[in-house]
């Protein structure tokens, strides 16, 4: 991979306006634990390809988790969602960031509900909302969102069984204790 970095550097020296190559540089830098180098590559992609939502999202994750700069992560998450509001992974990642890094469950809930407002039938959003409400003790809301998940046709039999088990467990008399 180090040789690949040298090849990429040579290609980018001839033409720096290649966002896909810069994203590969960022990936390789991150692989080698050069998170500052990865940050610089993603920041450059943000400038030359301002509609590349994945680069914004990856940079948000880098700032939020690896570089421990959560204040810089938030606007990058927001940009990724603004550019591609239908990518539910962005909402879920941003919500997890709020839970894991910022310790702000209300913000996580808002992000997931924003995603639900845009893509209300997406099983990733509905199941994550079900899990969020389950984990935060709101059993009726957890059941509501898990049942929305069960209504989706695209669930595999295994997924359907797992979600149904969650609903059954939440509806059991012990769930309220």
Structural domains in the chain, CATH included, are 1-84 (1.25.40.10), 85-177 (1.25.40.10)
Say if residues 152 and 126 touch (Cβ distance below 8 Å): yes
pLDDT at 177: 53
pLDDT at 176: 53
pLDDT at 152: 94
Q: CA of 148: how far to CAs of 88, 105, 114, 163, in Å?
A: 16, 21, 16, 10
- Tell me the two tokens of residue 123: 């099983």
Distance CA 150, CA 124 (A): 11
Full pLDDT tens readout for the chain, 177 residues: 778 888 998 999 999 999 999 999 999 999 999 999 999 999 999 999 999 999 999 999 999 999 999 999 999 999 999 999 999 999 999 999 999 999 999 999 999 999 999 999 999 999 999 999 999 999 999 999 999 999 999 999 999 999 999 999 999 987 555
The DSSP code sequence of 16-76 is: ---HHHHHHHHHHHHHTT-HHHHHHHHHHHHHH-TT-HHHHHHHHHIIIIIS--HHHHHHH
């Amino acid at each position: 991979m180090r040789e690949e970095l040298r090849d990429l550097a040579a290609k980018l020296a001839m033409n720096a306006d290649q966002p896909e190559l810069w994203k590969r540089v960022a990936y390789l830098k991150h692989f080698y634990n050069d998170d500052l180098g990865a940050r610089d590559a993603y920041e450059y992609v943000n400038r030359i390809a301002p509609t590349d939502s994945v680069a914004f999202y990856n940079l948000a994750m880098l700032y939020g988790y690896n570089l421990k700069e959560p204040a810089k992560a938030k606007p990058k998450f927001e940009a990724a969602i603004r550019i591609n509001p239908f990518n539910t992974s962005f909402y879920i990642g941003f919500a997890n960031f709020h839970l894991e890094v910022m310790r702000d469950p209300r913000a996580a809930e808002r992000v997931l509900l924003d995603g639900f407002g845009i893509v209300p039938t997406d099983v990733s959003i509905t199941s994550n909302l079900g899990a969020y409400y389950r984990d935060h003790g709101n059993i009726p809301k957890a059941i509501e969102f898990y049942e929305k998940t069960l209504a989706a046709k695209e669930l595999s039999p295994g997924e359907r069984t797992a979600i149904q088990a969650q609903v059954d467990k939440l509806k059991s008399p012990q769930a309220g204790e």
